[in-house]
Amino acid sequence: MMPALGDAAALVLPDRQVSGPGSAAAKKEVLNVKGLSAGYGPMRVIHDLDLIVYAGERVGLVGLNGHGKSTLFYAIAGLTGWQRGSIRLNGTEVGRTRSQGPGRYTHLVVRRGLALIPQGDEIFHGLTAEEHLDSGAFTPRAWRERAERKRKVLDIFPPLRKLLHIPVGRLSGGERRMVSIGRGLMAEASLFLVDEPSLGLAPKIGKGVMAALMSVELGDSAMVIAEQNISLLQGRVDRIIGMHVGKLKGEASVGLGFQTRREA
């Protein structure tokens, strides 16, 4: 049934000439989503969506409020009310058809290499920043290497050094965002899903956070950043995908589509 509907599918198949780093042969799929639908109760937010993300890639996901960016991320993590369709993370199927139990399998998906940095501040108010970073290093290997990982995260967000022993509930919005992103980066992940990192922050701080995200060395992992402010992504991600009413609507390498639109 899917190919017939096809507009999303046809547009979204990544264009190998335009997008992604490295040679086409070396590309490894980190995330392969096929025919994903998801939503909450009677509401269907994601409609038959296909998406492939390759290793080493930084992808921007743009779209208006309420068009399914966060829900797409939550569906990959198994946190939506219901979902169906295939989600392959590093070649392992983590998607399943389910009608209830949001979050029941999320920890298994996380163990397979997903780091979700959620929208807003999903933080633990009473834990200190340091405990926070520890809680991000959840897989056994990350936990053993957590001192090393913490050092790396602190290199990315130097202001956190002074805040390590303060309960996160007492930090400012920008500091919380750093903690929240830092927690995500602590994980031993091959796919980072960053949901609106600049949301609710002053423009300058938002830019700083975004610059820090861009400075993360991905290696073999990949990063998808959902963002409404295209100018923050421009020139810094490998490709940008538009999202509209629960479907992916075309994509562009950064140099092309969105730039021309801005000039017009």
Partner 1 sequence: MDLGFILTNAVVLACIYGTLAIGISITWSSLGLINLAYGFIFAFAGYGAWLAAQYVLTNGAVVLAAGILTGALGGLIVCALAFIPIHDKPNFTVRGLIATLAINLIGTQSLMWWFGPRSKSLPEVFGTWKIPLGNMVLTADKVGNVVASIAMLAIVLKWMRSSRRGLEIRAMMMNPHAASIVGIGVRRTGFYVLAITGGLAGLASVLLSQTYYIAPFGGLTPMIKGVSIALCGGLGSVSGAVIAAMVLGLNEALTSVVLGGQYVLITQFLLIIAVLLVRPRGIAGILDKAREA
- If one asks whether residue 118 binds partner 1 (CB under 8 A), the answer comes out as yes
Task: Please state the closest distance from residue 246 (CB atom) to partner 1, in A.
Answer: 22
- If one asks whether residue 237 binds partner 1 (CB under 8 A), the answer comes out as no
Q: Which of 6, 126, 159, 255 binds partner 1 (CB under 8 A)?
A: 126
Residues 174-233 that bind partner 1 (CB under 8 A): 183, 187
Who contacts 204 (Cβ-Cβ below 8 Å, separation ≥6)?
none
Identify the bridge partners of residue 168 per DSSP, sorted by sequence position.
Answer: none
Number of residues located near partner 1, criterion CB under 8 A: 30
Binding mask 84-103 for partner 1 (x = CB under 8 A): ----------------xxxx
| Cβ proximity to partner 1, 22 vs 126, nearer residue | 126
- If one asks whether residue 166 binds partner 1 (CB under 8 A), the answer comes out as no
Distances (CA, A) of 259 to 13, 221, 238, 252, 255: 21, 27, 14, 10, 6
The answer to whether 38 and 71 are in contact (CB under 8 A) is yes
Task: Please state the closest distance from residue 27 (CB atom) to partner 1, in A.
Answer: 27
Rounded distance between C-alpha atoms, residue 197 and residue 175, angstroms: 12
Task: Please state the closest distance from residue 24 (CB atom) to partner 1, in A.
Answer: 33
The answer to whether 221 and 189 are in contact (CB under 8 A) is yes
Strand bridging mode 191-195 / 114-117: parallel
Rounded distance between C-alpha atoms, residue 58 and residue 222, angstroms: 6
State the residues that interact with partner 1 by CB under 8 A. Answer: 77, 79, 100-104, 106-108, 110-111, 116, 118, 122-127, 131, 134-136, 138-139, 143, 169, 183, 187
